[in-house]
Amino acid sequence: MGYNYQFVPVGEQSLNIVFDEVIDARENRLIHSLADVLIKTELGIIAVIPAYHTLTINFDIFQTDFLKLTTKITQIIKNHSLLTSAERRRIIEVPVCYDEEFGLDLKAVIEHGCITFDELIQMHTSSPYLIYMMGFMPGFAYMGSVADPIAMPRLKNPRAKVPAGSVAVAGKQTGMYPIEAPGGWRLLGRTPVRLYDPKHPEPQYYAGEYIKFKAISKTDYYYIQKLAAAGMYELKELN
């Protein structure tokens, strides 16, 4: 199966590879696979930034130019053998407390989907979510895709403050707020894990990997929160 894409210049030393504008796991895996291949080549590429349906490439203008680079990239995309077909199947488990104290939009999402509280939890925790891209704030992972009944559109008027650790949905996307910030996603619960530490800014998860949520009680929430604050809790890998 071929891929539809085009090259768009972005200034003197950057370009975008723009694929079909869809939220599609197969297309996104191609983008991450291509990013992995390109950053290891000697084509004068300085950095790659994968997103939902685009790949931004920064390059050294003293080593290459737009025409030379796009010609090489076209050859790589056509030669599928250079692209790994294996997914990054690293799955990271994130504990979440689905309680009304933390999930301010639980009732609204339940009414939207015509489902029960237990069904909402089951739908949100049953399968791993692909991290399509990182952005918006440090450590914020855009993930998908959530089940249709809980795919409620974001708020028309965003909240001025969303607490750190909040777990939310916005349409077919789900995500976690690593720090307190404004936001309009629908809040379902909260994780006690510290998702971002400015003293150790290296993320605990990356685009192309997977997150799987695990429902926990309020008692477990506060217990894990104490462990995390003391540096005694690490996110678990499922495989």
Cα–Cα nearest to 206, from 91, 48, 46, 95: 91
CATH code: domain of residue 78: 3.30.1360.40
Tokens of 21: 């504008």
Compute the average pLDDT of residues 221-227: 97
Tokens of 87: 């997914």
176, containing H or E segment? strand 173-176
Integer Cα distance of 181 and 94 in angstroms = 20
Tokens of 17: 């590879």
218, containing H or E segment? helix 218-229
| Residues 22 and 117 placed together within one structural domain of the fold | no
The pLDDT of residue 3 is 75
Q: Does residue 89 have a pLDDT over 80?
A: no
The pLDDT of residue 151 is 97
* Domain end residue (candidates: 34, 52, 82): 82
The pLDDT of residue 165 is 97
* Domain end residue (candidates: 50, 82, 114): 82
pLDDT, averaged across the chain: 92
For the beta carbon of residue 98, count every other beta carbon within 10 angstroms: 23
| Residues 24 and 124 placed together within one structural domain of the fold | no
| Residues 233 and 132 placed together within one structural domain of the fold | yes
pTM of the model: 0.85
Tokens of 123: 């739908």
The pLDDT of residue 213 is 98
Q: Does residue 138 have a pLDDT over 70?
A: yes
Sheet of strand 173-176, all strands in order from the earlier edge strand to the far edge? 186-190, 166-170, 173-176, 141-144, 129-134, 210-215, 91-96, 236-237
Tokens of 222: 């506060």
| Residues 220 and 165 placed together within one structural domain of the fold | yes
| Residues 78 and 21 placed together within one structural domain of the fold | yes
Cα–Cα nearest to 47, from 36, 63, 58, 32: 58
Compute the average pLDDT of residues 16-31: 90
Q: Which domain holds residue 218?
A: 91-237
| Residues 51 and 136 placed together within one structural domain of the fold | no
SS3 state of residue 49:
strand
How is residue 131 annotated by DSSP?
E
| Residues 111 and 219 placed together within one structural domain of the fold | yes
Res. 84 pLDDT band, cuts 50 70 90: low
214, containing H or E segment? strand 210-215
The pLDDT of residue 86 is 46
* Domain end residue (candidates: 48, 82, 116): 82
Counting the structural domains of the chain, the total is 2
**Rounded (5°) CA angle 21-126-171:** 35
The pLDDT of residue 77 is 87
19, containing H or E segment? strand 14-19
Cα–Cα distances (Å) from 199 to 165, 202, 203, in that order, read 17, 9, 11
Question: Which is more confident, 84 or 224?
Answer: 224
Compute the average pLDDT of residues 87-97: 86
Q: At what angle do helices 66-78 and 25-39 cross, to 10 degrees?
A: 120
Compute the average pLDDT of residues 162-171: 97
Cα–Cα nearest to 176, from 92, 114, 59: 92
Compute the average pLDDT of residues 97-117: 98
Are the CB atoms for 28 and 52 separated by under 8 Å? yes
